[in-house]
Amino acid sequence: RSKIEILDLSRPIDEVIEQLETCYHNKLPVCDGDSERIVGILSVKKALSLLGNSELHHEDFRSLLNEPYFIPSGTPVLQQMQFFQDNQQRLSLVVNEYGEVLGLVTFEDIVEELIGEFTTSFSNLSNDPHWLADGTYLASGSASLRDLNRLLKLELPLDGPRTLNGLILEKLEAIPDYDVSIRIAGVVMEIVQFDEHGVKTVKLYQPLIQPTQD
């Protein structure tokens, strides 16, 4: 939730303009004083096109807002994809059972997830991964938990997220902002690479094999 950039139209107009000028997103969720209540989605490109006007007011930006769309947390990926197609949307807000915003998801996120799971699963099956001599294995964050269990003889939980990235984020309850190591189902996992979207690369340590200390 803290990773979402929100434009607050209750702020002074010069601060609103400054945020738009320095924003690197295509669209921004917008609130009007209460960050827990999203009132619309703003196209940054359309908003920036107004900056040539001599005088700008908050209403100029409010007139550009599109209705926000919400998706319940836990919605299957394919169902989210269908939602985007049916509503011709490319961004939606993820909410919990109380209507509180947990995050946002884009059409591009869904496509990347689907392609990532397919290509990683195919690669894992064809390359027949195995533990290295030092008892480690370097895995992609999008690796299928089911494939890792089968091919590396692990017992990672399958009753929740389907990918390694999802499992780690569920455990940490946040995207890491530094290198960390955690233990899940007896497996030590060292996060090697990550970005604002999640965990990209993880070093797995074979159960009973501990990472060496420098």
pLDDT (tens digit, 9 = 90+) per residue, 10-39?
Answer: 999 999 999 998 887 888 999 999 888 999
Give the mean pLDDT of 177-197: 83
Give me the torsion for CA of 168, 169, 174, 177, rounded to 10°: 50
CA distances from 20 to 46, 51, 88, 107, 123 (A): 10, 10, 24, 22, 41
pLDDT at 128 over 70: no
Give the mean pLDDT of 97-105: 85
Give the mean pLDDT of 76-105: 83
Please give the pLDDT value at position 112: 66
- Rg of the chain in Å (alpha carbons): 21
| CA pair distance 194, 192, nearest whole angstrom | 7
Quick one: fold of 128-205?
3.30.465
CA distances from 128 to 15, 111, 139, 205 (A): 54, 26, 13, 17
1-68 CATH choice from 3.30.70.1560, 3.40.50.300, 3.30.70.260, 3.10.580.10 = 3.10.580.10
Residue ranges of domains in the chain: 1-68, 128-205
Q: Which residue reads 């290509």 in tokens?
A: 119
Please give the pLDDT value at position 118: 44
Query: Angle at the Cα of 66 (from 59 to 25), degrees rounded to 5?
Result: 95
pLDDT (tens digit, 9 = 90+) per residue, 141-182?
Answer: 889 999 999 989 999 998 888 899 989 988 887 777 666 889
Taking phi over 0 as left and psi of -120 to 50 as alpha, with beta for the rest, 153 belongs to left
